[in-house]
A = this chain, B = another copy of it.
Amino acid sequence: MYKSDRDALLLTPGPLTTTLRTKQAMLHDVGSWDTTFNSVTANVCSELLKIAHGEETHVCIPLQGSGTFSVEAAIGTLVPRNGKVLVPDNGAYCARILKILRYLGRESVELSFQENQAVSAQAVAVALDRDPGITHVALVHCETGAGILNPLEEVAEVVKAKGRRLIVDAMSSFGAIEINVKQLSIDGLVAASGKCLEGVPGMGFVIANQSSLESSAGNSHSLALDLYDQWQYMQKAGQWRFTPPTHVVLALQEAIAQFNEEGGALARLQRYTNNCKTLISSMATLGLKPFLEVPSQAPIIVTFHAPESSSYDFRSFYLAVREQGFILYPGKLTQTETFRVGCIGAITSTDIDKAVNAIASTLRSMKVID
């Protein structure tokens, strides 16, 4: 039987659909020690720093591995061994930070919110007042567990006013939502190649305040994840300490070029917002309701309540939609049955329309809707 060799579109929180141009940048083998590759690394870092508005105050340290490796590296390097970290928690990625802190033996304080509720800056202020021992706050900007956008600017203001330091997991927002690390006095901002920058997965990076990083020698629990050591070596040699994922770095450079051509974070946000609005309004015509209220919904990934019909099950639904060329994502909530649809990657609202058509015809043939 004839089978198309076209890739399904990835409507997920990452890896994402990337452009052919980005993938084709990987058709080259380059030497990790060679000046050609060193200048790619330098160029990528300087572009990332520019996107974060950190040219005057911050440095960019790339790191091998998934984004979580960079989150752990940022915490392990920037938080002193006797530091204490407040973690506003409204989802799976916040919980992961708490888990990292337990592994690292750093003290932590959990500040819980509902899964459908954005973090409250006011509550962060109260928690900081209550415990003067807290040195850092670790905030997840876009919590893709449910798809919530947390109020980074308000939280940053509170953290600064209370004289503490801020680490931001901006994995799913960086490149789409403007973040100014200098203005917000962010100590460490963490993101990765395979999210809204639309590169391929395989490396993360930390935009770190230079003076914080300079005083972080000896903090790290790990050689591989020691950002201070990675930065020192790069400063000296212009190279990565350990074998870099050269093809991934080449793809990221090409992805950033396209990001700039598109018009930067503002243009990207517009496209994603358009994707998100199209998705929510078209799904509404099928009776599918988003889990979140509009104000806290990030235009990154949308969680939908599963249809209530007894003829629905996620597995069959997923496979039938995939058969039509669209990869959806399961829910990650503990209390409610949901599924997720991503709005990010090299896709437009036309693609979203097609996906919703596929979802509609699937639900019809499953007899979930008429």
Contact = CB atoms under 8 A, between A and B. Distances in A.
Interface of A: 7-8, 10, 12, 14-18, 20, 23-24, 26-34, 64-69, 72, 76, 96, 99-100, 103-104, 192, 194, 200-202, 220-226, 240-248, 251, 322, 327, 329-330
A100 B229 CA distance: 13
B29 A243 contact: no
Contacts of A221: 103-104, 221-222
B242 A69 contact: yes
Nearest to A73: B224
Contacts of A64: 64-66, 69, 202
20 contacts: A7-B28, A12-B31, A15-B30, A15-B31, A15-B246, A23-B26, A26-B26, A27-B27, A29-B200, A64-B64, A64-B65, A66-B243, A66-B245, A67-B243, A76-B222, A100-B223, A103-B221, A201-B246, A202-B202, A247-B251
Contacts of A12: 31-33
A120 B224 CA distance: 29
A279 to B, nearest CB: 18
A222 B72 contact: yes
Contact of A222 (B20, B29, B225, B246): B225
Given A29-B15, A29-B18, A34-B322, A248 B327 contact: no
Number of copies of this chain that the complex holds = 2
B32 A15 contact: yes
Contacts of A14: 32, 243
Contacts of A7: 28-30
Contacts of A33: 12, 327, 329-330
Of the candidates A12, A18, A69, the one having the most CB atoms from chain B within 10 angstroms of its own CB is A69
A242 B23 contact: no
Of the candidates A17, A28, A29, A220, the one having the most CB atoms from chain B within 10 angstroms of its own CB is A29
Nearest to A193: B245
Nearest to A103: B223
A243 B26 contact: no
A265 B206 CA distance: 39
Contacts of A100: 223-224
Of the candidates A68, A226, A240, the one having the most CB atoms from chain B within 10 angstroms of its own CB is A68
Contacts of A220: 103
Contacts of A192: 243
A33 to B, nearest CB: 7
Contacts of A202: 64, 202, 245, 247-248
A248 B244 CA distance: 12
Contacts of A99: 223
Contact of A244 (B27, B201, B223, B246): B201
Contacts of A248: 202, 245, 247-248
B245 A201 contact: yes
Nearest to A99: B223
Given A15-B32, A30-B15, A31-B10, A247 B23 contact: yes
Given A15-B243, A31-B8, A65 B68 contact: no
A103 B222 contact: yes
A245 B245 contact: yes
B65 A224 contact: yes
A222 B73 CA distance: 10
A235 B357 CA distance: 35
B327 A244 contact: no
